[in-house]
Structure 1
């Protein structure tokens, strides 16, 4: 995710044309915050009405580095005190049914210049449009990891021109990136996971950016990611990062589109004629760094385009790691668990034509060398959004295969069954689809991530 800050007003007297040396320093993370200037004693009130707010283009542009610009602002008295957790839990309940525009307006009104929109270059451009519609000044920031798609950089430029803003970019520390690449290579994340690279290129720059703020605005939605985002509130005290004052409770996190479906966000973007990243027209939905992002295929959940070589529950880069819970008793990292260890998530593929296989049932299927019928079996977890995304196509396929000589089954392979499925059933990530031929003891793993009915039917037809 690329994060950027844009501002509609700045500290007067700041340099509008920083030197080349300063620009380079900001890019490589070595820029030092300036000393706080002395401001007029009269505090600015951020509760003013729209008619009192100057147009976005009426004031000079902010210096391009968020750290010095945010760190040099002395907060008005209204927002100096650290936030109370209980107060924001109540506010989240009060705003539960509010529109994204109303939530955005409340956030900008409450925090003024000490809040900024985190912009990744994907569909969270809707956040900028909502902020623009409020008529209030706003800022936008982005994390430039140095590994974004060319289309994303062009999109940043288009957004700046469309809204008349300057995105405030944060860059990773050059020494840290150099050490990582020299010791582990350019693509180590394919072998040992993406967390280390994201920590250097994204999380630490974000931490520096947020230390100059009291609140930030994200485009997180509940329907985005399995195991991590299903319970996010519209506003919360940030559980991970610290703000300008430091310590627990010093940063507030706003999620205006938390309760909005992805399709509705896109309907809004189209209706408002908002600029979009050209990668979206090529099948990309969730967009991050180029090596770790790819288009999604039919039947896939949008988040499967990110870090596709890893387990579904790990698809966070660390920017929102406060969403990730410890694994519960049944190995489910998303949702409540009853006292007996049973997950509250509704089961999947629960139709007449899909046989629910138990552990003994799948073990027997493995032992048979001459089966009377071939079997197609999905290894799944009910909490997995990728499994949920393919439910419709798998059920339709089961109906088409009814009476064809191919049985269709399912085996829940999470929790206590996960180790067995990994060792005996080739489970790599959820969902995994296996075909058990009639005259072979070894199942064949479906090699593609196209999970639409036609692709699955082609696979079955080729083997039966």
Structure 2
């Protein structure tokens, strides 16, 4: 994830802040997502602001870190008087451009855009359109794709800015690799590696700011981002003043759908990561990122070997409620019942999908001479990856109706999860099993393609 920092014209040439000039109103006037904001008026309001032009490429061998930036003093009264919950409510229906403009107006050079090199280009474009100076910073973990580095260079040239790169501590990385190897995250989870390569460098960067801007969207990640507000007091990190409440987090595209972001990027003709054309949607470090397949949620390309519930690296760990962190069977959007199972709307609802109980799935698994084969999905209704295949699984069930193949579903979260893991080969949600005739052993669907044609080919191979 890249973090970008912008500065005002008063910052010296040795500053790492990126600079950018004002933009023209007509460029944005035809974009639907700008809604009620008059870009022309925005530009007119900037006439008293000296444009921030890009500097020539710096030759400095040493660039100051964000943590070294000295900001104007803010009194305790000013901080206490600010009600960001109320501000979030007032901006809930605002366009991303309006939200970005408010963020830059309020915090000036004390706010930075976190740039990860994926759809975060939209954040820089919005900042550019406001005509205000802005800062951009990015986290270079040392394990990014070559295509991501090429995008960084293209973005700097396109906007005439300097991205400030934050790097992990070399001693910490060396100790991790020497002790546990280069790919320990495949065996014991990605949190430790992300903590060293991403979270701690981010913490250093944010210590030099009073606010930061991220590209989080509500539709991005199952169970962790569905309640993201457009502005909030950061629940996990501290700003330059230190202590709880010292950092404000802005999410201008929280209410924007992924497709709308891409329509915006194409309309504005800005640089994008070439990996997107190869099926990558959510892009992180190279070893932990892969393309998504038909029927998959965009976040499923990240840390695919782990539970689908909490796909976060730690940069936005404040999104994960404490109870969710302790028990990944919970549901952030629902209400838990007495058994700890989230009461949310069920999926795969059609007369051609049989809802199996615990007893039903146990009996099915014990049969050695079934009269007809079964296809069963082990699922959790709160899982976005299960939700993403809802339509294709229902279509498949309708196509198989009357064919001699039964289609079923078994809810395997909550108190059923341990049973499903030990007896039904549950790895992550969704897991699809085929129970053939005359066999006591189910066959696990090995692919992550969950479109109708791929699932039908799997069924036809065994019936």
Deviation at 1:55, TM superposition (A): 2.1
Within 5 Å, give how 1:137-148 maps onto structure 2.
Answer: 137-148=133-144
SS in structure 1 opposite 2:321?
A: coil
1:125 to 118, 121, 124: 121
CA distance in 1, matches of 2:422, 2:398: 30
Q: What is the match of residue 369 of structure 2?
A: 370
Q: What is the match of residue 267 of structure 1?
A: 263
Within 5 Å, give how 1:273-352 maps onto structure 2.
Answer: 273-327=269-323, 331-337=329-335, 340=338, 343-352=342-351
Q: How many residues are aligned here? A: 432
CA distance in 2, matches of 1:85, 1:378: 52
Deviates more, 1:403-412 or 1:48-57: 48-57
CA distance in 2, matches of 1:343, 1:86: 35
CA distance in 1, matches of 2:165, 2:439: 57
Q: What is the match of residue 22 of structure 1?
A: none
Q: What is the match of residue 180 of structure 2?
A: 184
Deviation at 1:296, TM superposition (A): 0.4
Deviation at 1:68, TM superposition (A): 3.7
Label 1:84 to 1:237 Cα distance change in 2 as closer, same or farther (>3 A).
farther
Label 1:387 to 1:66 Cα distance change in 2 as closer, same or farther (>3 A).
farther
CA distance in 2, matches of 1:113, 1:65: 21
CA distance in 2, matches of 1:389, 1:304: 10
Does the alignment pair 1:355 with 2:354? yes
Structure 1-normalised TM-score? Answer: 0.88
The CA deviation string for residues 19-52 of structure 1, in whole angstroms up to 9 with x for no partner, is: xxxxxxxxxxxxxxxxxxxxxxxxxxxxx94222
Q: Would you identify which runs of 4 or more consecutive aligned residues in structure 1 move more than 6 Å?
A: 58-66
Q: What is the match of residue 255 of structure 1?
A: 251
Deviation at 1:11, TM superposition (A): 4.7
Contact preservation (8 Å) 1:16, 1:61? no
Label 1:245 to 1:64 Cα distance change in 2 as closer, same or farther (>3 A).
farther
Contact preservation (8 Å) 1:330, 1:342? no
SS in structure 2 opposite 1:314?
A: coil
CA distance in 1, matches of 2:349, 2:121: 38
Unaligned residue ranges in structure 1 (runs of 5+): 18-47
Deviation at 1:448, TM superposition (A): 0.6
Aligned residues: CA RMSD: 2.2
Label 1:166 to 1:86 Cα distance change in 2 as closer, same or farther (>3 A).
closer
Does the alignment pair 1:168 with 2:164? yes
Structure 2-normalised TM-score? Answer: 0.89
Contact preservation (8 Å) 2:295, 2:451? yes
Q: What is the match of residue 407 of structure 1?
A: 406
The CA deviation string for residues 354-381 of structure 1, in whole angstroms up to 9 with x for no partner, is: 1111111111111111111110000110
Label 1:67 to 1:220 Cα distance change in 2 as closer, same or farther (>3 A).
farther
Q: What is the match of residue 239 of structure 2?
A: 243
Q: What is the match of residue 395 of structure 1?
A: 394
Contact preservation (8 Å) 2:335, 2:343? yes
